[in-house]
Amino acid sequence: MYACLRMGLVATALMSTTIVANVSNAADIPRAPIRSPIATVYDWTGFYAGGHVGGGWVGGGDSSFLGGGQVGFNFQSGPWVYGVEADVSAASGGDLNWTSTLAGRFGWAVDRWMIYGKVGAAWANVDVVRMRTVSDDTSSGLLLGVGAEYAIQPNWTAKIEYNRMNVDRDVDVVKFGLNYRFGLNPLRW
């Protein structure tokens, strides 16, 4: 009886050793590395051109519909985006006839979103009533603006922007725009 018991213990010990050895050998089998998904990062660097529509108000008065275009260049360094933009808009339906701006842009980007501010020069042509006659007056001044832009495709972005122009009279403009980004660096998605 003791002999059978010893034989069972020896057999159990041998099987346990064989199983442990096979499991430890399996741990040494090379496996394919686990790869994390490639991060998608939008690169805001490059030239762009686009169009916009919106509305403008002169001194809080009648509103004018406006439409026009813009061109610019951005440079991204980390999350910071620096650039310059020029635009021109024709207006109708109110006291505002046209606007034009040349401004520096500075923004903060998180992948495909960017919020930005603008500071620069503005020109506006506004109808002025003097002694019961209407004439137009072109004046220049300071532009302050804020906006948000989103990359909807690798080369296309959409934006919303508010500008305050301090020309002879205050002009407020809200614009919705689309830009096509040419880019200097390959876009990384």
pLDDT tens, position by position, 14-58 = 555 555 555 555 555 666 666 555 555 889 999 999 999 999 999
CA distance 125 to 162: 18
pLDDT of 121 reads 98
CA distance 63 to 173: 9
Is the distance from CB of 24 to CB of 164 less than 8 angstroms? no
CA distance 113 to 115: 7
For 2-15, what is the mean pLDDT?
52
In the block, residue with structure tokens 């006659």: 133
Residue 187 confidence class, pLDDT cut points 50, 70, 90: very low
In single-letter form, the type of residue at position 68 comes to G
Residue 154 confidence class, pLDDT cut points 50, 70, 90: confident
Domains and CATH numbers, the chain: 46-181 (2.40.160.20)
pLDDT of 5 reads 47
pLDDT tens, position by position, 96-147 = 999 999 999 999 999 999 999 999 999 999 987 777 777 788 999 999 999 9
Residue 94 confidence class, pLDDT cut points 50, 70, 90: confident
48 burial via Cβ count (<10 Å: 0-12, 13-18, 19+): buried
3-state secondary structure of 23: helix
| Predicted TM-score (pTM) of this structure | 0.74
Is the distance from CB of 150 to CB of 157 less than 8 angstroms? yes
